[in-house]
Amino acid sequence: MNAFDPVLKPLEWSELDERAVKAIKALAADAVEKVGNGHPGTAISLAPAAYLLFQKAMRHDPSDPEWLGRDRFVLSAGHSSLTIYLQLFLAGYGLEMDDIAALRTWGSKTPGHPEYRHTTGVEITTGPLGQGLASAVGMAMASRRERGLLDPASAPGESPFDHHVYVIASDGDLQEGVTSEASSLAGHQQLGNLILIWDDNKISIEDDTDIAFTEDVLKRYEAYGWHTQRVDWTSGGDGYAEDKDALAAALDAAKAETGKPSIIALRTIIGWPAPTKQNTGGIHGSAMGTDEVKGLKSALGLDPEATFAIDAEVLAYTRSVAERQGDKREAWESAFAAWKDANPQQAALLERLRAHELPEDWAGSLPEFEASEKGVATRAASGKVLNALADVLPELWGGSADLAGSNNTTMDNVPSFVPAEHATKKFPGEPYGRTLHFGIREHGMGSILNGIVLHGLTRPYGGTFLQFADYMRASVRLAALMSIPTTFVWTHDSIGLGEDGPTHQPVEHLASLRAIPNLDVVRPADANETAWAWRGILENRDNPAGLVLTRQNVPTYPRGTDGFAAAEGTLKGAYTLLDTDGTPDVVLVGTGSEVQLAVEARKLLAADGVQARVVSMPSLEWFNKQDDAYRESVIPSGVKARVSVEAGVAQGWREVVGDAGRIVSLEHYGASADYKTLYAEYGITAEAVAQAAKESIEAAS
């Protein structure tokens, strides 16, 4: 148990609590009825459970939504957004009755699904089912890692950094594969601070879930290593009673189980006590209709003609939740103050992490790589960067989806983040370790990374092959939508990975990822660009980034000599790597491993008297953020002859090269062969770039 948790035994449940629950059941119906669409049923039947969490079980303070000691709440069943909005309204997080009445309308604080940074008190954007629960696993992992950084010696439950992550999930959440991935890992990690309430109402949009979902969920979760409980408000189908005491007891038992995550299967009847639509798909995702709403209110003992109504006495009571938890907050503040006094070094670290600041002169630790024609794979360079930053950035941690050796995402000589009994000979570990092992769970990895970021203090990264970014698209999109700085490391970035063949060779992936708004796709050309790419990613907290790296070696350019520009231009997304005297005849633009082709093509063109500028463009997104003057200095509007070269589809490059430009690309899948053969066979060569340059010059004349 946690020393600072509100007490649930015995459960204090007064007439005011009962009136509050009845009021929000009616408000859920009113809000959906007013806008004409939405999901009233779950918000109605889950009202007592959500109320129990926010008013009795969770540690939080509406006057301090970012309080370090708060529990986290995730509504994974995001379609039932009213479930959280009504609790935020009751608790006093800034939502008022007009906001509830403005559900799902333009400019309101109550959109159709909860949105991070849009509504105070919402910890995560939840829309695609399963993402919330999967990200909550990341929050629980982050909590443990942060405790290890700041207060590893305190007894369990006694640290100011101990808290719980609560989740409400639906049948749909547990059907989505991402929750299977994440829940399996949660059990393996023994995340005793994670508590899930599964709303087992057996209804989805297609009505009775027996049509598609009949497994024994609790046995599945038991197999994952979770603590499982059942609370049945239907009494086995013989009646219905919202037994708050039984749920409170289950929550107490979940809190007491510190070695396993907990799932409570709460058997409910969706929409109860609506007179005719309860327990049907019709109340899941549609307005109930005027008569049904009135019938619901009558069944609750409320005035059927009153809309958007709540007694002032009830609201005053629910908004005193922080006062009612005052002794627990006071105990936490006392423990936190004592911790700061006893741990000045960790307190200084916490202050920096909470301010989201990097250490002074941290970038001085970034490695510089000597010029080399043989060069190094950018994945290997990235691994060296991570090792160089290990000591200076303790908040930086991560790993891979079972591809540590291939992704180079493992820092040397640091323990893995894993319960001691699961450590292996190759990967020694302990619960507060640093190297993450996601297993072969790419989709779960993306969501977990988002949860770690949202928890607030650390910077995680996770790696896999670029082709498997397909498995991660929902979580990558949500990171971009939330504008959070999740770092995705994608290696084996092209046909250059070679013999594994077309199933593993990304072709359309760069274009596909660049199509995601607010995602930075960064594909460095050599080792030094890789170091600067990491710098640009870590200095930015406004949106996520995908770092795209090679398997094969690429030349490391002689920076500052032989005409090569310094690699710091990476931060601007594109820069002139090699220039000409005066205005160039043609501009050659490359990314990643294909920049070397542009460099070689420049030599071929020079032999024919053609002056070519080589532009390295590691990130179109970063380049597009620069001002007009800078972009004009790199790719002059007056030079119409341009060529782009990238081992992927051409989509997106026409905007860069213009009408007279030429695009050297790959418009089909790859094959199994060594990378040099593949590049030659598919015509992605320096000769092809040079020929394209001549064609572009002719077209531009």
Angstrom distances, CA of residue 665 to CA of 104, 516, 651, 692: 44, 21, 9, 11
* CA nearest to 161, candidates 343, 354, 335: 335
Torsion region of 442: left, alpha or beta (phi above 0 gives left; psi -120 to 50 gives alpha): alpha
How many CA atoms within 13 Å lie on the side-chain side of 18? 10
Q: How far is CA 459 from CA 118, 285, 455, in A?
A: 22, 37, 10
Residue closest to 235 by CA, chosen among 259, 268, 188, 262: 268
Whole-number Cα distances in Å, 467 to 39, 472, 670: 36, 10, 12
CA atoms within 13 A on the CB side of 344: 0
Helix 131-150 to helix 442-455 angle, to the nearest 10 degrees?
Answer: 50
Rounded to whole angstroms, the Cα distance separating 477 from 474 reads 5
Give me 294's structure tokens. 């009135």
How many angstroms separate the Cα of 689 from the Cα of each of 126, 388, 614? 45, 36, 11
Q: What is the SS3 assignment for 471?
A: helix
Amino acid at 557: Y
- Based on the residue annotation, tell me whether 632 is a catalytic residue of this protein: no
Place of tokens 């060569």: 685
Q: Give the separation between CA 300 and CA 25, rounded to whole angstroms.
A: 9
Which has the closest alpha carbon to 378: 528, 549, 497? Answer: 549
Which one is catalytic: 146, 442, 529, 594? 442
Distances (CA, A) of 658 to 378, 572, 665: 30, 21, 15
Contacts of 315 (CB under 8 A, 6+ apart): 90
**Helices 217-224 + 177-189 axis angle, to 10:** 40
Question: What is the rounded CA–CA span in Å between residue 632 and residue 596?
Answer: 23
Give the SS3 label for residue 465: strand
Cβ-contact 547, 534 below 8 angstroms = yes
Angle between helices 344-354 and 326-342 (to 10 degrees): 120
Query: What is the widest separation between alpha-carbon atoms in the chain?
Result: 90
Could you tell me the two tokens for 508?
A: 């359309």
Tokens of 435: 């190297």
Contact 657, 673 (CB under 8 A): no
Burial class (CB in 10 A: 0-12, 13-18, 19+), 426: exposed
**Cα distances (angstroms) measured from residue 555 to each of 384, 506, 612:** 16, 22, 20
Catalytic residues: 442
